[in-house]
Amino acid sequence: GARLQGKVALVTGAGGGIGRSIAQRLAAEGAALVLLDLHDDAMGELAEALRRGGTPVSTHCADVADAQQVRAAVEAARAALGPVDCLVNNAGLTAVIAPLERMGDEDWARELAVNLTGPFHLIRAVLPDMVARRWGRIVNISSAAARGGLFRQAGYSASKSGLLGLTRNVTLEYAAQGITCNAILPGLIATPTVEKLPPPVFDYAMSTTPARRPGRTEEVAALVAFLCSDEAAYLNGAEIDIDGGSRLC
């Protein structure tokens, strides 16, 4: 259906595996799209494809960890398409895979800056318009790592757990103003990054996933689209696992 007709949706990390599917799905639901990513190549191709399909698109190269760049991007997007109705904090990274005792200051700081402070910057920048219009949808892409940790990815896990705390606080402070904020916790999702995992790592992940397959980016995108819809108005501060049951193993 076209549940997001007339809405403006901002997706961070739009050039990545999951971000691209989210943008495509929200566009299919009728939203105009604000795409934000560090890099322009994949995002530019996506923007062209969306425009060919008739979707208004505005693209922004920015680092979510940089408050000034985020403010500038949100202002430019507002000028191009209008205020943001739906924000999807999807940009995220792992800076290093290392045992905790060998994790460097810079890697730790970068993971927190991108995966946790980034969503804070975006949320702070879009909230005033949402409050003024008494309607808003914020979806934070956390991770199964927020619950179970991830071996040798302490900074990543901590940042994704922190994002759950940020999610709850947005709900506490803004639910009365028509704004919802929910977190999605994906297990292993089939993206180019995940496809490059060493076979033993991938096989181990599948052995601890009752569904015995990775998730599809489109399956994450379908959940995001629902959370952005009017129908999901009473779902707030939720943590939704989309993991083929792996949290049970």
Nearer to ligand NAD, 127 or 221 (CB): 221
Q: Which of 156, 174, 204, 234 is catalytic?
A: 156
Contact at 8 Å (CB) between 137 and 87?
yes
Nearer to ligand NAD, 13 or 162 (CB): 13
Contact at 8 Å (CB) between 81 and 31?
no
The three-point CA angle 46-50-55 to 5° equals 145
Give the CA radius of gyration of the chain.
17
- DSSP 8-state assignment for residue 216: P
Nearer to ligand NAD, 135 or 226 (CB): 226
Main-chain phi, psi angles of 115, to 5 degrees: -85, -20
Least distance from ligand NAD to the Cβ atom of residue 147, Å: 11
**Tally of CB atoms within 10 A around 106:** 11
Residues 39, 133, 134, 213: which binds ligand NAD (CB under 6 A)? Answer: 39
Residues 189, 223, 225, 232: which binds ligand NAD (CB under 6 A)? Answer: 189
**Interface pattern 101-140 for ligand NAD (x via CB under 6 A):** -------------x---x----------------------
List for the chain the helix, strand, coil content (%; round to 5): 50, 15, 30
**Rounded Cα gap, residues 212 and 206, in angstroms:** 5
**Interface pattern 55-84 for ligand NAD (x via CB under 6 A):** --------xxx-------------------
Q: How many residues bind ligand NAD (CB under 6 A)?
A: 27
Q: Please, what is the angle between helix 154-174 and helix 118-133, to 10°?
A: 20
Contact at 8 Å (CB) between 8 and 32?
yes
Residues 24, 117, 143, 236: which binds ligand NAD (CB under 6 A)? Answer: 143
Least distance from ligand NAD to the Cβ atom of residue 62, Å: 6
Residue with nearest beta carbon to ligand NAD: 16
Only one of the segments 47-55, 91-99, 167-175, 203-211 lies at the binding site for ligand NAD (rule: CB under 6 A); that segment is: 91-99
174 is catalytic: no
Active site residues: 156
